[in-house]
Amino acid sequence: MQANAIARASIQELLRRRGALIMLIALPLAFYLARRDIPSSAIVVLALGVGWAVATLALFNTVNSLKLDRRLRVAGFTARAILAGRLLAVLLFGLVLSFAYLLLALLDQEVARPGGVALMMMCAVVVGAPLGMAVGLLLRSELEGALALLIFLATQFMTNPDRLLAHLLPLWSVRGVADWAVWSADSGKLIAGLAHGATTVTVLITIITGASAFRLRVHPPHAVLRERTQSPTDTATNRGRVE
CA 8 from centre of chain: 17
Q: How far is CA 168 from CA 171, 173, 202, 233, in A?
A: 9, 10, 14, 65
Which of 104-118, 167-181, 228-242 is predicted least confidently? 228-242
Mind listing the pLDDT tens digit for each residue in 170-200? 999 998 898 888 877 778 888 999 999 999 9
Mean pLDDT of 18-30: 90
pLDDT of residue 241: 47
Mean pLDDT of 209-228: 68
The pTM assigned to this predicted structure is 0.85
Average pLDDT, the chain: 85
CB atoms closer than 10 angstroms to residue 133: 26
pLDDT of residue 69: 84
Mean pLDDT of 139-164: 88
Print burial letters for 52-81: b (CB count within 10 Å at least 16), e (below 16).
bbbbbbbbbbbbebeeebeebbeeebebeb
Residues 209 and 11: their CA atoms lie apart, in Å, by 21
> Helix H segments across 17-78?
18-34, 39-64, 66-74
Residues 110 and 133: their CA atoms lie apart, in Å, by 35
pLDDT of residue 234: 53
